[in-house]
Chains A and B, each alone.
Chain A
Amino acid sequence: MPKDHGIGASSKRREDVRFLSGRGRYTDDMNLARQAYAVFLRAQVAHAKINKIDTTDAAAMPGVIRVFTAQDFSGVGGLPCGWQVTDRHGNAMLEPKHPILAEGKIRYVGEALAMIVAETEAQARDAAEAIVMDVEDLPAVVDMKAAAAGGTLVHDDIGSNLCYDWGFVEDNKAAVDEAFARADHVTTLELVNNRLAPNPMEPRVAIGDYDFSTDQHTLYTTSQNPHVIRLLMGAFVLGIPEHKLRVVAPDVGGGFGSKIFHYAEEAAVTFAAKELRRPVKWTSTRSEAFITDAHGRDHVTKIELALDKDGHFQAIRTETFANMGAYLSTFAPSVPTWLHGTLMAGNYKTPLIYVNVKAVFTNTVPVDAYRGAGRPEATFQLERVIDKAAREMGMDPVELRRKNFVQPDEFPYQTPVAVVYDTGNYQATMDKLLDIADVAGFEARRAESAEAGKLRGLGLNCYIEACGIAPSNLVGQLGARAGLYESATVRVNATGGIVVMTGSHSHGQGHETTFAQVIADMIGIAENQVEIVHGDTANTPMGMGTYGSRSLAVGGSAMVRAANKVINKAKKIAAHLLEASEADIELKDGAFSVAGTDKSVDWGSVCLAAYVPHNYPLEDLEPGLEETAFYDPSNFTYPAGAYACEVEVDPETGKVTICAFAAADDFGNVVNPMIVEGQVHGGLAQGIGQALLEGVSYDENGQLLSGSYMDYAMPRADDVPSYVVDHSCQTPCTHNPLGVKGCGEAGAIGSPPAVVNAVIDALHRGGITHVTHIDMPLTPGRVWSAIQG
């Protein structure tokens, strides 16, 4: 019987009522009194020297209040990078300045050159066209390998396009090379992890406001982490102390990583609001989003897998070129390194691993974390090379994986790439997958497809991810310039209702519902007695943000810790009211009772006593019932699973149709199964999108070819199947109080290799055996060309 309340119940989402009735409050829905509008003049060439930006005519246009250029920002800092990678030789990465508006040079199409503030958006747009640019075009640096080799520099002052050359684990390199030298079999695969545009459906918006009378700045922005923006923008860019800067991220229409980062527009409108003493609003168009929101992925990799004659993995060696784009976005350096290299062990016992990553500057939009961030890149190359090895060695791909799994009795498992998996059961998720995907019935379905002239294939793979990021002391050693804890305040009101203020932010994940379920369960009260507040630095405690599938594992744990403090204090109050010893007080179903007696007092009465302390141990206990806690996890969490995809390929057109997709995940404990399944569905669609449809493409001049939905193919309802998902294999996380692991990224991490493995399988079963790999997205044209040979 499924639960209907609290942890484990599929409670319906309370936030849905406002979204479904058109009463959501997204940033663009807000308009402040006396608001002016900002429009950014953006670079139309990828690389050029700026001789002069003449704003004279623009400034005289109707409605124009002021035109800002880089000179206006000479007194403020550049956009900071939050992670410093140390290279193979012990040197710090190269870190160019990232100005608010372009200084001296244009470095990518879309870079902001000037900000026009006018009475209306149309007036600002008209004025932008009147700005006269005097620039000298430079050759664009687009190809990563060419960029790394030298030649034209994106940043002249740092002397190289190579941001870092990272080796992991550098000390293992010789042993890895030796293992390859003595291996019975080596499988090599060169592949591209395609560049993606995150595309949350809500484009970014920022409104800056300034109150002269209090010197108080406010930024309303579409962010996944308002506190992080306050810290970065306040401390590093504009020099505003936290108590004079409020950042509000109201309802946010999806993020997927792209709304983690601190963007130039946020600082620009906040700065302008103070200069002009008026609120300044900027709303991105979708076309603008394609050339300003940080892109994701964009790795070119060579992976080698060494095996013994029985198929046991001996070593893995990789070389990856990772695109940073023109500047370092907030967390960009961490993605191809610590979020990628540490996952190269996958679900397997490979004793020796060496990962080399060369991060490169190019004249393209900055690249940073996108759903999965580094872990999809690791999973894709690993699960593709294993499939290729199985085919080369004539082994069953499932059996080859099973043979190399970390076995259930081997946890905690120390990988050769720094991380320790606390728990897992990869055999169980594989068993579950084979069942829910009806692998046994595949041959019959294949025969049916063949009748219709279609090639059917089955692709399977595993994945593991490191989520719930992360222990601050560990990430600090790895180069993070911030902590990665979370905090929460649990405020109990006099009549027993509870408000939880969390530093985590919800932009689709449903925290308002699930966090309330946890609190209701802990205390034994109705979920509607609990309200969740998030998104405003003025009324929530410090939070490091929602990304890396960390909200429940880290933010939820902070909330549990704060709630436990509340409960402990409430027990003291109850003990006083019941004239019993605190040690004998039990909390169950919303009432405190004395163990072994029928004496009890309900939750509401205890809360009332805390705020109306007429009968209260004031000499021992403060009145009131409100606690704050911070939580810093001792390890990452490690969700894992096994995915299966069935496709049909039309050999005449190359079109791939996804017939079925099954996912067996181990997320540890699950608070709201309905929401967890929804998260998996969404991740699967993004992974299928990456595999079949999506790809950011630049020409050799650095012009974006996929700059709108006319050319960037977003998955539609008829591109994806109904999914079969299961999360019944549960090995609870051993180190957080809820035993949860995180589920937000799994679908996007695990699904691309399943799709590609399925297409290659379909071709081979159809007798087209010369195709061993096709780069994503597997568009009909690419598949057809591969078939042609």
Chain B
Amino acid sequence: MTKVSMTVNGRSMSGDIEGRTLLVDFLRQGLGLTGTHVGCDTSQCGACVVHVDGKAVKSCTVFAADVAGAEVTTIEGMGNPDGSLGVIQQAFQDHHGLQCGFCTPGMVMSAAALLAENPKPTEAEIRHYLEGNICRCTGYHNIVKAIMAASGQDVSAVAAE
């Protein structure tokens, strides 16, 4: 066991880890931040996406020790300071961009990374960017709509209802 420290959602956190402790396990078990999920073991589903130093990464495919000292943001850090849902989260609720909720934290984190890079993405750009996030419930339609809405664009462009 060694000690690792990092800044998580703006707060300095530390805990004991093994070499093999994955970032997602440190977050879930070490820090009790269970909003980040594990949906696969081949780095494809994206339920575990968090931000490390502002970049989206799959926390199931990063060792906690490798991101010592980094700034990590998880779904728990995406709300407004008053505890209400942030813009992207609110757009997901408004446009029914989630059903079972399991892929949702990763989707929101990827959406946030996309909008940071590309504030006004097209529908095709959104769909392409979500290549690493699998949702089994929504058929993606309303996720795309939610991200479009979160970017301040007209959602009627996504599709006729």
Contact = CB atoms under 8 A, between A and B. Distances in A.
Interface of A: 12-13, 15-26, 28-29, 31, 122, 199-203, 251-254, 256, 285-287, 436, 507-510, 674-675, 677-678, 680-686, 708-710, 714-718, 720-725, 747
B137 A682 contact: yes
B14 to A, nearest CB: 20
Contact of B42 (A286, A436, A677, A716): A286
Given A507-B100, A681-B138, A20 B39 contact: no
A708 B44 CA distance: 10
Nearest to A709: B44
Given A201-B102, A717-B130, A21 B35 contact: yes
A720 B140 CA distance: 8
A684 B138 CA distance: 9
Contact of B127 (A122, A287, A717): A717
Interface in B73-93: 74-76, 78-79, 85, 89, 92-93
Nearest to B39: A201
Contacts of A251: 100-101
A21 B100 contact: no
Contacts of B123: 722
Interface of B: 20, 28-29, 33-42, 44-45, 47, 74-76, 78-79, 85, 89, 92-94, 96, 98-105, 108, 123-124, 126-128, 130-131, 133-144, 158-161
Nearest to A675: B96
Contacts of A28: 34, 37-38
A709 B40 contact: yes
A681 B136 contact: no
Contacts of B47: 201
Contact of A710 (B29, B42, B126, B143): B42
Nearest to A688: B139
Contact of A12 (B29, B74, B93, B134): B93
A251 B45 CA distance: 19
Given A22-B35, A710-B42, A200 B89 contact: no
Contacts of A718: 124, 127-128, 130-131
A504 to B, nearest CB: 15
Given A681-B139, A709-B40, A747-B139, A15 B131 contact: no
Counting chain A CB atoms within 10 Å of each CB, the highest count among B79, B102, B128 belongs to: B102
A715 B135 CA distance: 8
Nearest to B103: A201
A279 to B, nearest CB: 15
B51 to A, nearest CB: 13
A678 B96 contact: yes
B44 A253 contact: no
Contacts of B78: 21-22
A200 B158 contact: no
B140 A717 contact: yes
A542 B118 CA distance: 50
Given A15-B101, A20-B89, A254 B144 contact: no
Contacts of A684: 139
Contacts of A286: 39-42, 45
A17 B138 CA distance: 17
Nearest to B25: A121
Contacts of B105: 22
A696 to B, nearest CB: 15
Contacts of B158: 722
Contacts of B139: 678, 680-686, 715, 720, 723, 747
Given A22-B105, A26-B34, A718-B128, 15 more contacts: A20-B85, A20-B92, A21-B75, A21-B79, A200-B102, A254-B102, A508-B99, A508-B101, A510-B99, A678-B138, A684-B139, A710-B42, A717-B128, A717-B144, A722-B159
B8 to A, nearest CB: 12
Contacts of B89: 20-21
Contacts of A31: 29
A285 B161 CA distance: 38
A685 B98 CA distance: 14
Given A22-B76, A716-B134, A203 B140 contact: no
Contacts of B94: 12
A681 B141 contact: yes
B161 A725 contact: yes
Contact of A708 (B42, B124, B133, B141): B42
Contacts of A12: 93-94, 96
A684 B140 CA distance: 10
Contacts of A21: 35, 75-76, 78-79, 85, 89
A678 B74 contact: no
A677 B97 CA distance: 11
14 contacts: A20-B92, A22-B75, A122-B20, A201-B45, A253-B101, A286-B40, A677-B96, A678-B139, A685-B139, A709-B45, A709-B134, A714-B44, A716-B133, A724-B161
Given A20-B104, A714-B134, A718-B128, A203 B93 contact: no
Q: 10 nearest interchain CB pairs?
A: A22-B35, A19-B101, A253-B102, A722-B159, A508-B100, A685-B139, A681-B139, A508-B99, A22-B75, A29-B34
